[in-house]
Each structure stands twice: as structure tokens, then as C-alpha cells.
Amino acid sequence: MIHDVAWETARLHAYELGTLVRERIPYEELVPLSRASGRTLARDVTALQGIPHYASSAMDGWAVAGSGPWTIQPRAAQDDPHAASDTLGDHQARAILTGGALPHGCTAVVRSEAASEYDGVLSAPEPRWGADIRPAEREAKAGDVLLAAGTVLTPPRLAVIAASGRDDVHAVISPRVGLVLSGREVVTSGVPLPGQVRDSFSEFLPPVLTAWGAAEATPFVQRIGDDLASTLRAIETTDAQIILSTGGTGHSDHDFLRKAAEDLGARILVPSVAMRPGHPAFLAQLPDDRVIVGLPGNPLAAFMAALTILQPLLDGVLARSFTEPRQIRVGERFTALPGRVRLVPAGLSTEDTAGNSHHELRVISREHTGPAMLRGLGDADGVMVIPPEGTEPGDSVRWLELPW
């Protein structure tokens, strides 16, 4: 009798195994910013200089010193309106563009639309001291830690790093992932005949892996039949550090993943998970520390298993922190399912299933969410985790983000 691991425990085991794998593989590499989106920082990033690194104008208009009216000074460098320059004396003004370096002595910027110019003299309502000036180092001082190790690089974070003067970053090296797709009935193109099934995973899993930070390159894909020899061969011959297999997680005489893992001396960390769908999900560590993640063959079940085991595993391997899911209010009633959580594709809505409107968003399950279906997931905003005791409308549940 296999002992199901609680959903929360399966996530923790997967994360801890990931941190162990992290110690066994090379840690970091220098990556240009242009290729660093989605990567994880291996080290803290400090500002090479302040952001911004000089005081500048926030508007097109006039740099002024003291009170008006002001005598207009010629531009220091006619061909470069942004050039840092000169000093303004009291009651003097000089034209300036947004982002232009402030002249010394400048006490405010007057917007062009607020000022009038006549015979070399500028008049405007008295500006507040410091108006429309962007002081140096307002966003960061030189040497400040801008982003901590373990942070995932998003487009705005890359821009912040660039603004501080850096061209590249130390990113955590992603593990090599191999996909092993099992099932003689699985076909990869065209219209499947009765008894055949069109492959759901080779289009689906690689971008999910990329979104979860695992692979810059397409993972190595092997297709195997339903037999022990080819299952063993697939595991033994790949150089992947994480072997992600689909199908064959069951206990029938056509399912060989568990037997293969046992024959290879693997330590089974998660034999199955107290969840639905995705219950047969499986996590094992081979004697050489490579990892097998067994995803069930049913496509939605496979994704729920991946959310439960693969994502925390990758967070561990990528030196990211363990994330606790956010809470969100559910908009419908679920009866109890003793001992198991349910992972349900759901959409955000301001209405509950009884048609009542609410100020805060609630989540409501989508249609077409059977274990072998992906339509509901395609329409979903996220996945809700329904506790074994069920829910009443308005209860809080955990909410898992989708990787796309």
C-alpha cells in the first residue's frame, strides 16, 4: 500500500531536493542583460553609481536660479542640450530639456508652458524651490543593493540594473532537463486514430520549463514505449540532471516508471500525492543525485503534478526562495473530499456562482477540467487549491499562478 504524501509536504520535499541538487551542479555564469530575462540572480547586484547619477530636469523648460524675472543665458553647448554645463547666477535662466543636467546654482525648473519670454527676459509664476528637479541618487545610491541574490530577473529589474551602469549579471546556471514521454499510443502529428492519442506534452512542457526558469534551450526529448527496458535505457542514457517523465506512473503491468526507479536504486521521496488530479505524481532521487519527476499521463493531472513537484524543485535548484501560495476568496461551494486537496483551474470574477456581485475578486472553477482535459486550464487565470474539508463561498483558498 503506497502512502500518499500531503500536498504541502510534497512541495517541501521537492524544494529541499532541489536545494540539494543545487549544491551538486555548477552555480553561476556571467550573462549579458539582453539574455538574462527570467534568470535568477546568483549574487546581490549593487548600483555601480547612483540612480540617477546626476541631478537633472524632470521637464522641458527653463532652469532658473532664485526668483524671477530671469535673464536668459545662452546654452552652453548648442549641439548637445543634455550636456552638463556652467553656473547660473541669481535671477538667471537657461533653456533645458527633460533629463538635461542642471547647471550649478539652479534652484528650480520652470515648465515651458508656464513661462513667457520677452526680449531676453523670462517671466513665470514663482516656482517652488526644487520644482521639477530630479535630484541625483533619488532611486538608489552608489553601492546600494538593488536586487538580492535569488531574485528572478524581470524586464523592469533588468532596466534598473542597466540604469546603474552594468552590462551583465551573475545568473544561477539552470539545470539540464530531459523529457521522457512514454506511451505507445502517443502520436506526435496528424489526426490520431481510435486508441491513439495526440501528444499533449512536447508543445506544453518546454515553455513551462522556460517560464519556471529551468531551461534556456529546448530540453532533450526521448519517446519510449510501455516497457521496462526502454524506460531504464531512457533514464540511464540521458545526461539531464532532472528527468521529467510523462505517463507510466500507474501500477498496471504497462506502467514501468516506478519499477525502473526502484531497479536503479532510487530513493523515493514522494511516491504519490494526496491530491486530485495528479495523485500518481512521483519524485525520486537516483544514487548519482539525478532526479526523476514522474508526471501522470492525463494532461491536466500532469500539469497539476508539475505545479506541485516540478515548480518547487526548480525553485530549489535555482536558489530561489520557497513560495507560499497567496490566498484568494473562492466564489463557490465545494463538498469535502477527505484526505485530498483538489487543484482546480479557475477564473477571477467579481460575481459568485449565485450571481451576487462582490467588491473583491473571487475565483470560480472553469468548465472542462477533467483530468484528461486542457480546455479549462486554457481559460483559467490560475489554479485554486481546495482543502479536503471543502469550501463555502467567500472562504479563502490558496491560489497558484500560471506560468504563462
Ligand X SMILES: Nc1nc2c(c(=O)[nH]1)N[C@H]1C(S)=C(S)[C@@H](COP(=O)(O)OP(=O)(O)OC[C@H]3O[C@@H](n4cnc5c(N)ncnc54)[C@H](O)[C@@H]3O)O[C@H]1N2
The CB-nearest residue to ligand X is 297
x/- binding map, residues 263-282, to ligand X, per CB under 6 A? Answer: --------------x-xx--
Query: Toward ligand X, which CB reaches closer, 56 or 298?
Result: 298
Q: Is 233 in the site for ligand MOO (CB under 6 A)?
A: no
Pair 255, 2: CB distance under 8 Å: no
First to last CA, the chain: 37
**Could you give the CA distance from residue 363 to residue 392 in angstroms, rounded to a whole number?**
12
For residue 398, the tally of other CB atoms under 10 A from its CB is 19
Query: Toward ligand MOO, which CB reaches closer, 178 or 280?
Result: 280
Q: Which of 68, 178, 296, 382 binds ligand X (CB under 6 A)?
A: 296
- Kindly identify the residues of this chain, within the stretch 17-46, that bind ligand X according to CB under 6 A: none
Give one word for 190, left, alpha or beta, with left for phi > 0 and alpha for psi -120 to 50.
Answer: left
Could you tell me whether strands 121-123 and 70-73 are parallel, antiparallel, or unpaired per DSSP bridges?
A: antiparallel
SS3 216: coil
Query: Toward ligand X, which CB reaches closer, 93 or 281?
Result: 281
Which pairs with CB-CB distance under 8 Å and at least 24 residues apart come from 192-197? none
**Which of ligand X, ligand MOO, none binds 255 (CB below 5-8 Å, type-dependent)?**
ligand X
**Which of ligand MOO, ligand X, none binds 376 (CB below 5-8 Å, type-dependent)?**
none
**Which of ligand X, ligand MOO, none binds 246 (CB below 5-8 Å, type-dependent)?**
ligand X
Stretch that binds ligand MOO, among 179-187, 214-222, 278-286, 307-315 (CB under 6 A): 278-286
**Could you give the CA distance from residue 235 to residue 382 in angstroms, rounded to a whole number?**
32
Could you tell me whether strands 92-96 and 45-46 are parallel, antiparallel, or unpaired per DSSP bridges?
A: unpaired
For residue 122, the tally of other CB atoms under 10 A from its CB is 23
Radius of gyration of the chain (CA): 29
Those residues whose C-beta lies under 8 Å from the C-beta of residue 191, and which sit 6 or more positions away, are 198
- What number of chain residues touch ligand X (CB under 6 A)? 24
Q: Is 371 in the site for ligand X (CB under 6 A)?
A: yes
CA distances 397 to 31, 301, 352, Å, are 39, 20, 15
**Residue 347 backbone dihedrals phi, psi, to 5 degrees:** -115, 150
Query: Toward ligand X, which CB reaches closer, 169 or 275?
Result: 275
**What 8-state DSSP symbol labels residue 4?**
P
**What 8-state DSSP symbol labels residue 2?**
P
Stretch that binds ligand MOO, among 14-22, 118-126, 198-206, 294-302 (CB under 6 A): 294-302
Query: Toward ligand X, which CB reaches closer, 261 or 319?
Result: 261
Pair 264, 271: CB distance under 8 Å: no
Q: Is 213 in the site for ligand X (CB under 6 A)?
A: no
Cell numbers standing for residue 56: 537633472
Q: Is 248 in the site for ligand X (CB under 6 A)?
A: yes
Query: Toward ligand MOO, which CB reaches closer, 178 or 278?
Result: 278
Q: Which of 56, 57, 200, 210 binds ligand X (CB under 6 A)?
A: 200
Minimum distance between the CB of residue 240 and ligand MOO, rounded to whole angstroms? 24
x/- binding map, residues 362-391, to ligand MOO, per CB under 6 A? Answer: ---------x--------------------
Interface residues with ligand X (CB under 6 A) are 181-183, 185-186, 197, 199-201, 246-250, 255, 277, 279-280, 296-299, 301, 371
Interface residues with ligand MOO (CB under 6 A) are 276-280, 296, 298, 301, 371
